[in-house]
């Protein structure tokens, strides 16, 4: 590591510790030439994900740009900024985990919507209105109906599961009834 003062290339590590919640290593170093102490960070270098825009242009994935868009859709919803940052981190990890290094902006938008639907319906509608370029009330109504249908399906599935867990097995009741009938005859 090159010393920032004298540019000498030899230094010794005085201390190493995990930083940024385990995402990097912080090293305290001392130059062997001038004894100047300095700090370096070691991080994993991710391969850049390229976003293909709707007009065909390509640009590098910008985590902060995505975060700004999500924050805008979540204004006045009471969602904590740390939760939104974690959401963007989760999306970035998902994109980094893919084998393909190019992703369309439409794919990113759908990933965001699939996650926002579980956090806030208001944020979901706001993000969808910008991302899908709503032209009028009909677009809002269609999206709201779609959201309501999803919610109804989830409610129906969870109540179906609950009722099937509670109700006795019909075969068990029939066997008991048959056994008591047989003994009484």
pLDDT (tens digit, 9 = 90+) per residue, 69-83?
A: 999 999 999 999 999
- The mean pLDDT value of the chain amounts to 83
Task: Give 156-170 as a DSSP string.
Answer: HHHHHHHHHHHSPPH
Q: Which helix (H) or strand (E) holds 69?
A: helix 63-73
Query: Phi then psi for 81, rounded to 5 degrees?
Result: -55, -35
3-state secondary structure 6-21: CCCCCEEEEEEEEECC
More confident residue, 154 or 140: 140
Place of tokens 């084998």: 99
What's the predicted TM-score (pTM) here?
Answer: 0.59
Which carries the bigger pLDDT value, residue 57 or residue 96? 57
């Amino acid at each position: 590591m090159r010393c920032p003062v004298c540019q000498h290339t030899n230094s010794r590590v005085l201390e190493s510790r995990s930083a940024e919640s385990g995402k990097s290593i912080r090293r305290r170093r001392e130059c062997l030439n001038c004894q100047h102490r300095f700090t370096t960070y070691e991080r994993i270098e991710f391969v850049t994900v390229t976003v293909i825009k709707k007009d065909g242009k390509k640009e590098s994935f910008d985590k902060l740009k995505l975060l700004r868009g999500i924050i805008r859709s979540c204004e006045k919803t009471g969602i904590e900024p740390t939760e939104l940052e974690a959401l963007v981190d989760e999306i970035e990890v998902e994109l980094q985990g893919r084998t393909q290094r190019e992703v369309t902006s439409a794919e990113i938008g759908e990933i965001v919507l699939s996650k926002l639907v579980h956090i806030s319906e208001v944020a979901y509608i706001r993000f969808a209105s910008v991302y899908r370029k709503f032209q009028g009330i009909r677009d809002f109504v269609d999206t709201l109906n779609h959201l309501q249908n999803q919610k109804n399906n989830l409610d129906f599935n969870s109540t179906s599961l609950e009722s099937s867990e509670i109700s006795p097995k019909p075969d068990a009741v029939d066997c008991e009834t048959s056994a008591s009938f047989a003994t009484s005859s």
